[in-house]
């Protein structure tokens, strides 16, 4: 029976790229651990007939969503770190997607 | 060697990155290395190798005392282009954007060196590695659309890869070694024998480097007489 020949170098290149993406994911995961979780928002509190608006940090803790009141200064300080987290999470997703694509191309085993 | 492309052979994000890097004056003392020069040579010489991974490595000369062109440092340029700087525990800095990973490498003299050094005038942190200075000998100039960059010559790239293929470390060393050797097999079709010899003479390869060279040549089964002369000549 005729055996299909296959250029292993191409597959090895793809494997190397998959391994590289896995290393990038590890780097991003380590970085994400250092960054605050959640997103900035505002909470309205009604008291004595008046409505107060506070900046707050919303984040998930298990199955519950928590709200942490912040001062406007704290909220400003947190902004760059939260934006960085968001950006790195997008990079993480991009790398996971690339690994999934490469896994689909690469022969199993 | 001067190469001119009317249209960029790179992906758009890579072309944008290279164009911005050129504006900082980086390529006066820096090179695009890794698998991207292979893409240039496959296009230019019509070689059957067009694979490039999404890690973009730059080599930078560590003895530079030149003023940078432009107001921005390289980390600032990369940040403007959407790259995030990530520092690992050893101090090696990587810039990430989606699946692209940008790293800087410089020449390591001797056996030991800190894991990263900051290179003036671009204020970029680079990882010192051996044999990087070999890549800077008579590099090729590549003009693309409205900008120019530099890459190692095919001969320097081949010699470098033949040596480092045997010295790869880390968990992906086997795959990287195979990739290095695969690239060397392709470059063997276009390298100039005289330039290979000249490089070896100028660089004064050590006995160990020659051993690595011999092992790689045997692995790819190359019969280039110039390489044989380099291996058998006295250091």
Residues 6+ apart with CB under 8 A from B152: B31, B33, B37, B59, B135, B136, B139, B140, B160
DSSP 8-state symbol, B165: G
Residues 102-161 of B with CB under 8 A from A: none
Sign of the dihedral through C-alpha A102, A88, B58, B144 = positive
Mean pLDDT calculated for residue range A26-35: 92
Which among B82, B94, B151, B80 has a CA at the least distance from the CA of B124? B94
Mean pLDDT calculated for residue range B129-133: 92
Is residue A56's pLDDT more than 60?
A: yes
Dist. CA B88–CA B82, nearest whole Å: 19
Facing residue for A94 by CB, picked from B53, B88, B99: B99
Q: Which residue has the higher pLDDT, B170 or B177?
A: B177
pLDDT at A108: 75
Residues 1-40 of B with CB under 8 A from A: none
CA distance A7 to chain B (A): 11
In this prediction the pTM is 0.85
Facing residue for B178 by CB, picked from A12, A17, A30: A12
C-beta atoms of A24 and B178 within 8 A:
no
ipTM value, please give it: 0.77
- Pick the range with the lowest mean pLDDT from A2-16, A66-80, B200-214: A2-16
Half-sphere exposure of B181 (CA within 13 A, CB side): 24
Inter-residue contact B166 to B216 (CB < 8 Å): yes
CB < 8 Å to B86, chain A: 27-28, 31, 88
- With H, G, I as helix, E, B as strand and everything else as coil, classify residue B25: coil
Residue A58: its H or E element: strand A50-61
Which among A82, A69, A70, A80 has a CA at the least distance from the CA of A36? A82
Which chain B residue has the Cα nearest residue A92? B98
A94 lies within 8 A of chain B by CB: yes
CB < 8 Å to B171, chain A: 19
DSSP letter string, B77-138: HHHHTTPEEEE-TTS-EEEEETTEEEEEEEEPPSS---S-EEETTTTEEEEEETTGGGGGSS
Inter-residue contact B224 to B189 (CB < 8 Å): no
- With H, G, I as helix, E, B as strand and everything else as coil, classify residue B3: strand
Is residue A5's pLDDT more than 60?
A: no
C-beta atoms of A24 and B53 within 8 A:
no
Structure tokens at B205: 């390869």
Residues 6+ apart with CB under 8 A from B190: B41, B45, B47, B154
Q: How much of chain A, in percent, has pLDDT values that exceed 70?
A: 93
Burial of B45 (0-12, 13-18, 19+ CB in 10 A): middle
C-beta atoms of A19 and B175 within 8 A:
yes
A13 lies within 8 A of chain B by CB: yes
Is residue B2's pLDDT more than 60?
A: yes
Mean predicted lDDT score pLDDT of chain B: 87
Instruction: Write the CA distances from B114 to B108, B131, B135, integer angstroms.
Output: 9, 16, 21
Q: Which residue has the higher pLDDT, B172 or A99?
A: A99
Which chain A residue has the Cα nearest residue B82? A87
Q: How much of chain B, in percent, has pLDDT values that exceed 70?
A: 96
Mean pLDDT calculated for residue range B159-182: 86
- With H, G, I as helix, E, B as strand and everything else as coil, classify residue B201: helix
pLDDT at B234: 62
Residue B223, preceding peptide bond in cis (omega within 30° of 0):
no
Task: Give per-residue pLDDT as tens, B5-52.
Answer: 999 999 999 999 999 999 988 898 899 998 899 999 999 998 887 777
Which among A14, A32, A40, A19 has a CA at the least distance from the CA of A91? A32
- Count CB neighbours of B223 within 10 A: 9
C-beta atoms of A31 and B101 within 8 A:
no
Per-residue confidence band for A1, with pLDDT thresholds at 50, 70 and 90: very low
Mean pLDDT calculated for residue range B189-205: 87
B178 lies within 8 A of chain A by CB: yes
């Amino acid at each position: 029976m005729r055996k299909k020949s296959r250029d292993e170098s191409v597959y090895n290149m793809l494997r190397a790229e998959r391994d590289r993406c896995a290393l990038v994911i590890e780097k991003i995961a380590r970085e994400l651990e250092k960054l605050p979780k959640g997103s900035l928002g505002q909470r309205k509190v009604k008291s004595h007939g008046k409505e107060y608006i506070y900046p707050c940090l919303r984040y998930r803790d298990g199955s519950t969503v928590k709200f942490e009141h912040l001062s406007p200064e704290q909220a400003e300080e947190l902004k760059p770190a939260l934006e960085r987290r968001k950006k790195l999470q997008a990079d993480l997703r991009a790398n996971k997607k690339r690994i999934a694509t490469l896994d689909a191309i690469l022969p199993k085993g | 060697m001067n190469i001119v492309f009317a249209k960029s052979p790179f992906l758009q994000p890579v072309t944008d990155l290279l164009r911005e890097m050129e504006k900082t004056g980086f390529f006066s003392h820096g090179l695009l290395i890794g698998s991207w020069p292979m893409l240039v040579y496959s296009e230019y010489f019509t070689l059957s190798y067009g694979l490039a991974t999404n890690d973009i490595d730059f080599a930078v000369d560590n003895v530079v005392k030149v003023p940078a062109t432009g107001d921005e440092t390289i980390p600032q340029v990369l940040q403007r282009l959407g790259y995030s700087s990530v520092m690992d525990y050893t101090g090696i800095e990587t810039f990430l954007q989606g699946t692209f990973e940008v790293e800087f490498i410089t020449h390591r003299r001797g056996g030991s060196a800190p894991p990263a050094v900051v290179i003036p005038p671009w204020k970029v942190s680079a990882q010192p590695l051996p044999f990087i200075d070999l890549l800077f000998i008579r590099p090729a100039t590549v003009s693309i659309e409205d900008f120019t960059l530099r890459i190692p010559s095919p001969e320097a790239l081949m010699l470098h890869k033949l040596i480092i293929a045997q010295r790869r470390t880390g968990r992906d060393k086997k795959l990287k070694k195979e990739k290095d050797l695969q690239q060397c097999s392709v470059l063997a079709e276009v390298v100039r024998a005289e330039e290979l010899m000249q490089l070896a003479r100028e660089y004064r390869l050590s006995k160990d480097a020659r051993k690595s060279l011999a092992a790689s040549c045997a692995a790819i089964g190359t019969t280039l007489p110039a390489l044989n002369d380099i291996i058998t000549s006295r250091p």
